[in-house]
């Protein structure tokens, strides 16, 4: 689907979602999920993650998933890459888009990737440069932009500094991650505005986990501030294995319902997405957390 879009929704369910589910699903289910999401009209589907299998066993089959991908025309399939080793694995498996990740918190980075911010940037720089030299599209993530599970408060100026560093090393886009979902709308908008003062808004995305039920309100505040790339996870799957208490991302179907109501085109077929949300929720063995999947089920019964 190549419809003109007002908002680019980046679907992170197959990676951010499945990395944190208790039940690991087989590669065939992951591949079906990725295909269905692309068929729903999602323009970017983050497919998997080339991290240590010991640290994230749910995505240990990243190579198989990438090699089995049935690409749809016009759809991008980035994969998470933590270091040179992950980059080499991703390229060997056929990745054409990568996402590198760090945080605005030293404490979180040490738990998540075993190094502080400075070391992580030094580790990522040659990876991003190598990727760009091979014409790969590169996204950077900054985690803990509105709070850290280990150090608590995170200064906005640190978020801006890390964002700038990722863009300067060659990332085309930076996704600002509220990893533990503690943010509220004014704080989210202030943080986005501070980053936008240093970087074009078109290079920024927002990524809200929904731990405290604030994700949709935070997205709305950031849309008002001009952001046009928003991450979400089908059925609200997931969390982060190294962020205790963090719930899944904002559910994609709840986001699409809001965008449709606001008259902002995303190119996503909401009914097909709800069907996908219900199917993958059954596969991971739990009810979908999204409002949309729940209300459709109740209406279908009545
Ligand atoms: P390390 O321990 O510092 O690295 O791990 P190391 O180089 O010392 O390697 C340790 C072992 O891992 C070695 O194996 C390596 O070969 C292996 P051993 O010799 O002991 O058998 N290894 C790898 N294996 C496969 N693929 C690789 C790789 N690299 C090393 N790429 C590392 C560093 C970052 C790899 C590790 O700490 C790790 O994998 N951490 C997992 C982090 C993670 O996946 N977190 C979740 C994703 S981030 C997220 O969800 C947030 C986000 O959604 C935004 C938001 O919400 O804020 C993006
Ligand atoms: Mg996340």
Q: Residue 200 pLDDT > 50, yes or no?
A: yes
Bridge partners (DSSP) listed for residue 49? 80
Q: Residue 241 pLDDT > 70, yes or no?
A: no
Q: Residue 3 pLDDT > 70, yes or no?
A: no
Region 263-283 average pLDDT: 96
Q: Which of 89, 83, 188, 91 is nearest to 145 (CA)?
A: 188
- Active-site residue, 115 included: no
What does the pLDDT read at residue 295? 83
Does 111 sit in the ligand 1 pocket, CB within 6 Å? no
Q: Residue 1 pLDDT > 60, yes or no?
A: no
Six token digits for residue 262: 């606001």
State what percent of residues in the chain have pLDDT above 90. 89
- Which ligand has an atom closest to residue 112 CA? 1
Does 139 sit in the ligand 1 pocket, CB within 6 Å? no
Q: Which of 105, 169, 91, 92 is nearest to 136 (CA)?
A: 91
* Confidence label for 243 from pLDDT (cuts 50, 70 and 90): low
Q: Tell the residue nearest (CA) to atom 4 of ligand 1.
A: 114
Q: Residue 245 pLDDT > 80, yes or no?
A: no
Quick one: which atom of ligand 1 is closest to the CA of 82? 34
State what percent of residues in the chain have pLDDT above 70. 97
Q: Tell the residue nearest (CA) to atom 56 of ligand 1.
A: 179
- Which ligand has an atom closest to residue 159 CA? 1
* Confidence label for 93 from pLDDT (cuts 50, 70 and 90): very high
């Amino acid at each position: 689907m190549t419809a003109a879009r007002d908002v680019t929704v980046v679907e992170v369910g197959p990676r951010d979602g499945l990395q944190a589910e208790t039940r690991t699903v087989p590669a065939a289910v992951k591949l079906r999920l990725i295909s269905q999401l692309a068929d729903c009209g999602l323009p970017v589907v983050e497919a998997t993650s080339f991290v240590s299998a010991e640290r994230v066993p749910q995505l240990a089959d990243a190579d198989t998933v990438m090699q089995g991908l049935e690409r749809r025309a016009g759809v991008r399939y980035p994969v998470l890459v933590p270091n040179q080793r992950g980059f080499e694995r991703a390229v060997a498996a056929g990745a054409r888009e990568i996402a590198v990740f760090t945080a605005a918190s030293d404490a979180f980075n040490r738990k998540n990737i075993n190094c502080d911010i400075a070391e992580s940037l030094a580790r990522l720089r040659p990876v991003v440069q190598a990727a760009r030299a091979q014409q790969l599209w590169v996204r950077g993530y900054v985690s803990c932009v509105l709070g850290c599970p280990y150090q608590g408060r995170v200064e906005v100026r640190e978020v801006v500094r890390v964002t700038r560093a990722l863009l300067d090393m060659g990332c085309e886009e930076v996704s600002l991650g509220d990893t533990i979902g503690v943010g509220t709308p004014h704080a989210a908008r202030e943080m986005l505005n501070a980053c936008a003062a240093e970087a074009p808004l078109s290079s920024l995305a927002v990524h809200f986990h929904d731990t405290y039920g604030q994700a949709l309100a935070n997205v709305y505040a950031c849309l008002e501030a001009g952001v046009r790339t928003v991450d979400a996870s089908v059925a609200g799957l997931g969390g982060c294995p190294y962020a205790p208490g963090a719930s899944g991302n904002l559910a994609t179907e709840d986001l699409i319902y809001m965008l449709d109501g606001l008259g902002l085109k995303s190119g996503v077929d909401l009914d097909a997405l709800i069907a996908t949300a219900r199917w993958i929720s059954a596969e991971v063995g739990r009810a979908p957390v999204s409002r949309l999947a729940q209300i459709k089920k109740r209406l279908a019964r009545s």
